[in-house]
Structure 1
Amino acid sequence: MSEEFITLTENSGVLNNKTIFITGASRGIGRAIALKCAADGANIVIAAKSAEPHPKLPGTIFSVAKEVENAGGKALALQVDVRDEQRVEQAMAEAVDKFGGIDTVINNAGAINLTNVESTPPKRYDLMQSINSRAVYLTAHLAIPYLKKADNPHILSLCPPLNIQPKWLGPFAPYALSKFGMTILSLGLAEELREVGISVNTLWPRTLVATAAIEFAVGNREMFKQSRKPGIMADAAYEVLTTQDAALSGRQLIDEELLAERGVKDFTGYAHNPANADNLTKDLFLD
C-alpha cells in the first residue's frame, strides 16, 4: 500500500466478512476506503469502469483487487458504469452470489466539471447528473432488498452538506446540483429507511484531498501541497461503517469533525505535506 493511502486510526475487526460495494473504487478516495476496510477483513466489491490502465491515472479494478487481498480482505473486481441500470443490478447479484449478501453500499464514483450553465455542454451536464445524483438513487433502489437482510447495513455517499448559497451556485450550478442532489436523496433515504435499520449518511472532506480530481479538474498537482491524503476520508468512512444501530443516520458528516468526535486530536499526519498542515485549502461548498 503506497504511503499516501496509509490511514492513522486503528481497525477493530468489526467489518470482518462484511461485504462492501464501492463504486469508483479503482482510484483515489474509493481505493483508500477499500484498502482500509480490507485491512479489517472485509469483502470488497470494486465496482468501477477502469479495467484497463490509463496513461495518466494509475489503478484499475484488478490492481486494487490485488491490493485488497494483500491488505487482508477478499476482492471482487467488476467493471461497472453506474449509469447502466442492468449492469449495476447484475454486479450486485454477482456480489451476493460470491459473498452471500451486501452489507454496505458506498457511492464514491463521481463526475466533476466546474463550469457555469452557459459553459456546460448538455452531454457534460447529463454525465454529472447521472454519475452523481442519479447513481445514489439507482444503487439504493437496487441494493435495499439486500441491505434489509444485513446486520448493521449502511449507505454512504460522498457528497457535501447542503449549503445553498449564490457563491456556490453561480460559478458551477450544474455540478452543485448533482452533488446536492446526492445529499437530498441521502437525507430522504435516511428517513425512508429508518424503521428498517439501514443507516444512511453523507461524507465530505474538510479540505481538498489529493486525488486526480484535484489535479485535473480543479487545478493542478501543485494543489496537493494544500491538500490532505485520501486516508482521512478512509478513516472517517470506517468510523461511519462501524457505527452500530444507525446512530449516525441522517447526518451530513465532515471527515475532520467526525474523527474529532471519535478522539482524533492530531491531523498533521493526514496532510499531503505535513510541513504545510496548517495551511490547507477548504473543499468546495464549505464556508
Structure 2
Amino acid sequence: MTDPTTSQSLEGRTIVMSGGSRGIGLAILLAAARQGANAVILAKTDEPDPRLPGTVHTAVDEIVEAGGKAVAVVGDVRVEEDVERAAATAVETFGGIDIVINNASALNTKGTADVTPKRFDLMQSINSRGTFLLTRACLPHLKNSTDAQIVTLSPPINLDPKWLGEFPPYMLSKYGMSLLTLGWAAEFAGDGIRANCLWPQTTIATAAVVNLLGGEEAASKARSVEIMGDAAVALLTDPARPTGQTLIDEDALAAVGITDLSPYGGGDDPALDFFVEKR
C-alpha cells in the first residue's frame, strides 16, 4: 500500500489503543509502526479464538516486525483499573502518551425490540463509556505531549431518519463516541490536544463483515483494512493539524494527495458503510 507522505512524523510517538489485536485497529498500528511509532494495546485477546485470527501478543509481534515498538496490556476497556494500567504502562515504557485511539467497539445491528437490556448495556459500556474511560485515563499525559491527539473510530453525526431508525441502540453508542470526541476538541483546545473522528466510506473487510454482515460476498465488496491504516496515519501526520472533525477515510487520504483507491479493493462499486451516503 502507499504510505502517506507528509511533513509530520510519527517517529517515537506513543499511541495507546483500545482493541487492536486484529482488523482496523491493527492495520492502523502497523501503518504507524512503519513510521517508527510506539504502541500500547489494551485488549482482552490473551488466548487465540478459533473464530478470529490473532491475539494482543501476535499483534505486538507484527508491530515490531513492521518497525515499531509495542507492549500488550491484557485487559478490558470497560474496567477502569485496566484502562489506568494501560496508561501507566505507556508512561513507564515509553515516557508518555502522544496519541489515544479509541478503536474497541461492539456491533449489534438489531432493532430496539430485539436488543436485550444486557446487550444494550454492553454496547454503551464498550463504545461510549470505553472511549470516555481510555481518554480520561490518558488525559494528564496527553497534556504533556508536544502534539497530543485523540482519534476515535466513529461516524459523522448523520441525522437522516434512515440512520436514526435503522438500529437505534448501536447508533446511540457510536454517536456517543463521536460527540465525546467533538466535545474534547473544544474542551481541550487550550491544552493543545486535537481530537477527531475517523470512519470508512465503505465497508471494510474485517472478521465482523465476514461473520456478521454477509460473509465472503460482503467481503468482496469491502475495501481492505489498509485503507483505514493509511487514512489514520494521514490524519495523524497532516500538517494542517485538523481538530474537531468527523473525517471519512477517503477525505483524510485526499488531504495528503492520495486519490487512487483501487489498491484497497472493493471493486468498482464498494458497499457503503453505516451512517454515510453515496458521493
Structure 2 residue aligned with 1:282: 272
Structure 1 residue aligned with 2:257: 263
Structure 1 residue aligned with 2:94: 99
Structure 1 residue aligned with 2:167: 172
Structure 2 counterpart SS, 1:118: helix
Structure 2 counterpart SS, 1:170: helix
- In the alignment, the residues of structure 2 paired with residue 153 and residue 134 of structure 1 have an alpha-carbon distance, to the nearest angstrom, of 21
Contact 2:12 2:38 survives alignment (8 Å): yes
- In the alignment, the residues of structure 1 paired with residue 153 and residue 125 of structure 2 have an alpha-carbon distance, to the nearest angstrom, of 15
Matches within 5 A, 1:226-265: 226-244=221-239, 247-265=241-259
Contact 2:56 2:74 survives alignment (8 Å): yes
Say yes or no: does 1:60 pair with 2:50.
no
Q: Deviations over 1:3-52 (max 9, x none)?
A: xxxx3224567111111111111010000011111111111112111111
- In the alignment, the residues of structure 2 paired with residue 283 and residue 213 of structure 1 have an alpha-carbon distance, to the nearest angstrom, of 13
Contact 1:113 1:217 survives alignment (8 Å): no
Q: Deviations over 1:90-109 (max 9, x none)?
A: 11101110110011000011
- In the alignment, the residues of structure 1 paired with residue 48 and residue 183 of structure 2 have an alpha-carbon distance, to the nearest angstrom, of 37
Contact 1:114 1:217 survives alignment (8 Å): no
Structure 2 counterpart SS, 1:184: helix
Please report how far the alpha carbon of residue 265 of structure 1 lies from its aligned counterpart in structure 2 after TM superposition: 2.2
Please report how far the alpha carbon of residue 217 of structure 1 lies from its aligned counterpart in structure 2 after TM superposition: 2.4
Which residue, 147, 151, 166 being the options, matches 2:146?
151
With the length of structure 1 as denominator, give the TM-score of the two structures: 0.93
- In the alignment, the residues of structure 2 paired with residue 197 and residue 149 of structure 1 have an alpha-carbon distance, to the nearest angstrom, of 9
Contact 2:5 2:256 survives alignment (8 Å): no
Please report how far the alpha carbon of residue 244 of structure 1 lies from its aligned counterpart in structure 2 after TM superposition: 4.7
Say yes or no: does 1:81 pair with 2:90.
no
Please report how far the alpha carbon of residue 190 of structure 1 lies from its aligned counterpart in structure 2 after TM superposition: 0.5
- In the alignment, the residues of structure 2 paired with residue 176 and residue 218 of structure 1 have an alpha-carbon distance, to the nearest angstrom, of 16
Q: Which amino acid aligns with 1:268?
A: S
Which residue, 113, 116, 137 being the options, matches 2:108?
113
Contact 1:112 1:217 survives alignment (8 Å): no
Unaligned runs of at least 5 residues, structure 1: 1-6
Contact 1:18 1:103 survives alignment (8 Å): yes
Q: Which amino acid aligns with 1:267?
A: L
Taking only aligned residues, the RMSD between alpha carbons, in angstroms, comes to 1.3
- In the alignment, the residues of structure 2 paired with residue 121 and residue 188 of structure 1 have an alpha-carbon distance, to the nearest angstrom, of 29
Contact 1:210 1:224 survives alignment (8 Å): yes
Which residue, 174, 198, 209 being the options, matches 1:214?
209
Contact 2:205 2:223 survives alignment (8 Å): yes
Which residue, 32, 40, 45 being the options, matches 1:50?
45
Contact 2:232 2:252 survives alignment (8 Å): no
Unaligned runs of at least 5 residues, structure 2: none
Say yes or no: does 1:9 pair with 2:38.
no
With the length of structure 2 as denominator, give the TM-score of the two structures: 0.96
Q: Which amino acid aligns with 1:20?
A: I
Q: Which amino acid aligns with 1:92?
A: A
Q: Which amino acid aligns with 1:264?
A: I
- In the alignment, the residues of structure 2 paired with residue 261 and residue 65 of structure 1 have an alpha-carbon distance, to the nearest angstrom, of 30
